[in-house]
Structure 1
């Protein structure tokens, strides 16, 4: 008598575990990615393209890879590859997505409150965590901020932090120390990337806004480490949108 083989059941995971995984993050950010890329094409020359988007495309062009849709395809591919390499089950619970949007909004509001507190202490102007010229057209701003949420988190958190962790661990530092150091270094680079001292077309260097952007970078790095790419990108975009309308 043969016993039928039964596939092992995949253990149930909670909201916090499920939403920190790359597949759920990808599905969550796909609407933002689609709005940004479609908005850039539809708005034409008047669109505000995110600075990191421009840098990444220029880098790909140097490699002879100038196809327009290659960057969003690579973004999707990186998240899918990350999910595969982690050996996560290919499960998705759609009911988690609106909760992720609410969580991103709460975290964006928290960062806005922090910005108002720091502004009152330092008597500085509240700035968006992303760079870009001031415009009067709401649509252009929202499109640009979705791009900032995705591509800045892609470069400064998803790509840079793991590379820095591996590099620092190469000097025999424990992973915990390497992780904290990577978060700090990536946040310093994130803050510096907004100023004309380091990049053409950036803001004039200012100690107060630099300190805030450094603080924002550390918060986004912490969100990325604890909650994954999707929530980090969502909270980044929500903060920038809230600043535009506050």
Structure 2
């Protein structure tokens, strides 16, 4: 029987010199500090807009699950997000330090990756004669403010569910069948991306889009890209690039 891998063993990371930007920015503690302003912006915006707010779908699912479990406190989900990242950092035995100078670089990197994904979306749209869509939202939003707030929620909570929570769990599950780690990682990335794409359609969730092969292919591609960013660059850059892509779509 193969040994069950720990959470730490499911992570993908290049061996780089200590304190190298590419390594330090991928660590959970730095990711947490990076996404905290986005998390605060989203949660504050939702409270400020009240009934007019567009709450991210995954946010709703996670809160409904917590409520079913008897934990309906409003701020529990963002608190759990913080706790998961801190626990991940602890399990990986990283030093409890980060460089503030990495944060603007992470913002710039997220913007560049968001732009690259937008270029890919426009290229695919021109080839397939389809409309560029946000990778993470459904329904009609009639103001820029509501768009932007919802998109920051998508960047955080969709990456939390589909990448930070689902990919490691799938790797552990697949490795339980004696698959090597690299094969389990690629399989987990594909499965999580398929679920991510399917979660936008009405056969999966009420109020979703009608199934369309073109948009499904793009969302599957986007899911694989975000999964790759998560594996190689960590949660913070994945969440940031996800949010930046959706915001850029809103203004393009």
TM-score (norm 2): 0.93
Question: Is 1:130 aligned with 2:120?
Answer: no
Question: Is 1:190 aligned with 2:196?
Answer: yes
Which of 232, 237, 244 matches 1:231?
237
CA distance in 2 between counterparts of 1:222 and 1:55 reads 24
Quick check: which has more Rg, 1 or 2?
1
CA contact (8 A) 1:48 1:132 kept: no
CA distance in 1 between counterparts of 2:138 and 2:73 reads 24
1:137 Cα deviation (Å)? 1.2
CA distance in 1 between counterparts of 2:207 and 2:62 reads 16
Question: Is 1:152 aligned with 2:158?
Answer: yes
CA distance in 2 between counterparts of 1:92 and 1:106 reads 22
1:1-246 mapped onto 2 (5 Å cutoff):
12-246=18-252
Instruction: Tell me the SS of whatever aligns to 1:144.
Output: helix
1:12 Cα deviation (Å)? 4.0
Report the aligned-residue RMSD.
0.8
1:131 Cα deviation (Å)? 1.7
1:136 Cα deviation (Å)? 2.5
CA distance in 2 between counterparts of 1:77 and 1:20 reads 17
CA contact (8 A) 2:29 2:86 kept: yes
CA contact (8 A) 2:139 2:207 kept: no
1:27 Cα deviation (Å)? 0.2
CA contact (8 A) 1:153 1:232 kept: yes
Instruction: Tell me the SS of whatever aligns to 1:198.
Output: coil
Gaps of 5+ in 2: 1-16
CA distance in 1 between counterparts of 2:19 and 2:107 reads 19
Count of paired positions:
236
1:187 Cα deviation (Å)? 0.0
CA distance in 2 between counterparts of 1:192 and 1:64 reads 28
TM-score (norm 1): 0.95
CA distance in 2 between counterparts of 1:206 and 1:59 reads 28
Q: Give the 4+ runs in structure 1 shifted more than 4 A.
A: none
